[in-house]
Structure 1
């Protein structure tokens, strides 16, 4: 016989893997069973339930809370009532069995008090559409008869658990219920039965909504109204170009209170919604499921201009709407805040809808921003379903506020780990597919940044991005920094991936070591094109995005000791490094007014792990100095004051030092990372 917890995890993973069934981290599942209490040696009834903050699709045993069922059910006798029910979450801790596991969630009572061995509470779009229909109770009877019972809206908590337990007891024929404004709950004697019933409720609701939607279409109608003239989606290339131009502006506005990372969505669902006549009034009603608006805020910011409106007009409109949104959000907070309410967390939108272009969503990191966008897609599906079968009627604004500014939610936020030093920052590193660039990308990601891994070798860049954690942490972009159009596309891809750019590292480079008389114009042009011209192009495009964001930024040049030190047989390389070094000074002077700091790093002797040295430069320099190539690193180290070899991670550390939280007043500086080369001292 399988273990109840094992059955629970397998069922949860199946349910959570289907976006039609529940949203990311939404809903919870449980199983009841008997185990031996190691303290008494006697059987004890236990409840295994998904804990706070877990996700069904990736649920493991460590994400479960395990509670003694007798103690949990005994809480009914000490329940102080709805006005004090938040106290019950702390009481759950006294019901825990054993050590470890996840913290019990607010929905634990629902699972423990319902008299069924297995319980699923889910947030399917079709179920929430029924739950938010103006006549949802009547529709639930029409669709399910007495198999599924309507539960009026109640905030998640102990009382909701009591309500559902009472319904389960009074309706022995019922397989589950629709929770007004919220979602569904189903139960069964076995794990398979609970899963089958959950899916039966969801698929039945889906078919009902599909039939009503098809009937509307046959009559020439759409739940969201007709497509407004001029609001249809722009062609893909034009749409993405406009999104890339708008993203830094929108991200800057959405970061007025605190920096945010962005995510862009142009799915068919979103593009259709933002083109329709009823976009504005439906968007203003906001979302309903608690999981949704906790991530999307009470409502989105909507741009009310045609898809092809002049870009400057859209930007001006965005600024006006953002100011109005902040005032409206502050008024919403003041309408409902009580003396003991948490302070307002910020008045910026989490979702911005732009007709013809799509949706921009924001959060404290890429995953949070992406999930916020996913949740708003869920909300669109809910609104479309509710409007197809009735009228969309989400929970009252006052209830939304009670959940958004719930003391328990505030406590959960307070328990979150402190953000890493570069959290919310978007870094673009050129030449990041190997060597020093890879080390820089790794360090910046480790410190919390989202990283655009740019390299002329896309395969190498993709390998680095995958190793850093994939698209929620890093994306790979092919970039020939000598090509003006390619550099513009590079910054556009950064905007589309993460909302903009905050931190640029000009690292792409190469070197050809030759005496003056053997240096060709091709040698000269190639090195100047990649490093001098390339750094100029990347800095120019990145500065354009940073200025649009209005959030300041950092530009770091990986120059060289050779920008100061005159050595033999490298006139082209050293001259272009001197060019880069002076770009640092020039741009620091020019961009300081925008809060953009420009600094440089001057490495020397980075042999191990260096792409330049591996590409032939090492052999050339070894020949120049008359040492074996394998001993070149040691040779460089011995000529320094510290007698220590310089590695790529040392350069990466300098980049972090310049861009982290400690040197925020520093610009125009060159930091030597050469173990001490006296001839290259700044003077």
Structure 2
């Protein structure tokens, strides 16, 4: 059973982490000291439970805690080789673990272990970091807190900072915590309740001081023409810019995007001081490790055309890359002068792009990383507002930022990340995806790492299917009538605003009317061709434009049918439109190849189970044609195949994945039969 002290710590951590005013996602750490019976000696042993590396306070569980023996951790100062070699102390924590040890200890473990308090919190609240990054933060700390909170000058997180805070606690017996210059806050208490109360008091007191003494417009006046566009206009412009921005941000490494047009962002980029402040960059290490040291900022008014904005963004991106490369080279040269060999540059593209009047795009290796990067830049804006309101924003200098960003310990953390899935960073749009083949395909693509947009005529079912797959960081549902060009464009735009771009489209939407030639009406014919032939054309056209603008290649997959080459009875409209789709594959493969866009098709046999088409009456009609009970139709189809196997939605989904994965990256214009072997439908 979990130790009661650890249970208290988890509950406190979850409460603190649930409120973004206290700390950002995965930011900060908490700890508790207590005792437990040593299973070997049977004697009590003093332990430290502390949030491990990479965890999040709001969602912390027992598995996210590192558990260390206090006697061994407290002995480490005796072997500490000094600040120039403090990174070596992280490896020493491994020799202090108790039992299986739990999560990997973080760099901040010393801050918790060495401070003489039973409970310690280290948090990154916007109000506290505003004090920590203000030019006269030390005086502000005295003014706001008196002697209850002590100023600790900037020091890179590590063992020496733990010693510094321990000394502050020892030398200031009336203090309940500290403001850590350029970093955040630390608070402590004899009980879990006291530590939490002290943390919240520091955060609330800092916020109240900023509100009472701060300048009402710390970012200056609104720049004429930089005000926020109306919602429809700004989202339309965001969708127009998104493909190009995603391509630029993926110059070195493919990324997923996130868009926000929150009031905080729109107000910041409308104000006179935003160019100066954005250039200074973020300060708190937790911020710039996710946002990079500074954003790319478009220097055009809100009403600038999309074409002019794109042209300027290309110029600014080139300048950003040159500037970041120079930053890296300066930092690397300084590191080598210290006898260190820094990690290779990880990429020179921006993680944050600010567009006046429109909002902010943020980028990362997956949707969650991209979204969190944007959230962190909102934190940074709040910090800049607070610091400028009572003083001036003064982040840590470039040299220190480089030492954090290219820290060997940070590099080691990155190397511990799980291997990327095959479709990581790919954004997929699947039509008709609320059931059957479409849903199975969406699930398979998401399982392989893709972000998925579930497009369906029924919005409620699309949203339910997306929720079944995962959170909005993985899948979203949108309404899409594929026969309507405006509706198709709206679905593509929704994909761009949800995930920043589009790489993979599956034309799956369809329906079928089982009628003979003489029974087929013009309305029947038009309906079949509008949904599948015209619908696939509209979706492919809208998607191809995005893929061309991105410059990242892409995949378009058509779910055609064995009926595109097989002449079956009472099926004229359906089979003809499937043949149309099959030739669209060949035509588009020939046209789009120069852009690196592969176009392929899949020819399934009748997929009965889970199919919306079959459930909607098609199954009963086909069963009547073949003279079998409807519930036996799948078995009938299976028996006419060479392999005697029924074709399931998952079989088709498997083929989609294979076509879009790297093993077939030289294949385009291909149709793959997924029919268990229907000889009459062999391709020739």
TM-score, with normalisation over the residues of structure 1? 0.98
CA distance in 1, matches of 2:681, 2:3: 70
**Structure-1 residue corresponding to 2:19:** 18
**Structure-2 residue corresponding to 1:574:** 575
User: Structure 1 stretches (4+) deviating beyond 2 angstroms?
Assistant: none
Change over 3 Å in CA distance of 1:2–1:564 after alignment to 2? closer
**SS of residue matched to 1:361:** strand
The offset of 1:462, in angstroms, is: 1.1
The offset of 1:212, in angstroms, is: 2.4
**SS of residue matched to 1:98:** strand
**Structure-2 residue corresponding to 1:624:** 625
Output aligned runs, 1:274-423, within 5 Å: 274-337=269-332, 338-339=335-336, 340-423=341-424
Partners of 1:436 and 1:611 within 8 A in 2: no
Q: Where does the alignment leave 5 or more consecutive residues of structure 1 unmatched?
A: none
Output aligned runs, 1:114-513, within 5 Å: 114-213=115-214, 216-217=215-216, 222-337=217-332, 338-339=335-336, 340-513=341-514
Partners of 1:423 and 1:449 within 8 A in 2: yes
The offset of 1:100, in angstroms, is: 4.8
Partners of 1:86 and 1:157 within 8 A in 2: yes
**Structure-1 residue corresponding to 2:523:** 522
**Structure-1 residue corresponding to 2:678:** 677
**Structure-2 residue corresponding to 1:92:** 93
CA distance in 2, matches of 1:496, 1:276: 24
The offset of 1:463, in angstroms, is: 1.2
**SS of residue matched to 1:518:** coil
**SS of residue matched to 1:516:** coil
CA distance in 1, matches of 2:198, 2:541: 59
CA distance in 2, matches of 1:225, 1:649: 57
**SS of residue matched to 1:557:** strand
The offset of 1:101, in angstroms, is: 1.2
Output aligned runs, 1:40-51, within 5 Å: 40-51=41-52
CA distance in 2, matches of 1:281, 1:603: 58
Partners of 1:605 and 1:637 within 8 A in 2: no
Q: 1:490-513 CA deviation, whole Å, 9 max, x = no partner? A: 000000000010000000000000
The offset of 1:67, in angstroms, is: 0.3
The offset of 1:643, in angstroms, is: 1.1
Output aligned runs, 1:531-546, within 5 Å: 531-546=532-547
Q: 1:288-317 CA deviation, whole Å, 9 max, x = no partner? A: 111100000010000000000111110000
The offset of 1:229, in angstroms, is: 0.5
Q: 1:599-633 CA deviation, whole Å, 9 max, x = no partner? A: 00000021111111111111111111111111111
Partners of 1:151 and 1:178 within 8 A in 2: yes
Matched positions, count: 677
Q: 1:253-296 CA deviation, whole Å, 9 max, x = no partner? A: 00000100000010000000011111111001110111100000
The offset of 1:2, in angstroms, is: 8.1
CA distance in 2, matches of 1:614, 1:669: 29
Partners of 1:62 and 1:100 within 8 A in 2: no
Q: Where does the alignment leave 5 or more consecutive residues of structure 2 unmatched?
A: none
Q: Which is worse superposed, 231-240 or 607-616?
A: 607-616
CA distance in 2, matches of 1:504, 1:210: 49
Q: 1:348-397 CA deviation, whole Å, 9 max, x = no partner? A: 00000000000000000000000000000000000000000100000011
RMSD, matched Cα: 0.9
CA distance in 1, matches of 2:134, 2:609: 65
The offset of 1:179, in angstroms, is: 0.1
TM-score, with normalisation over the residues of structure 2? 0.98
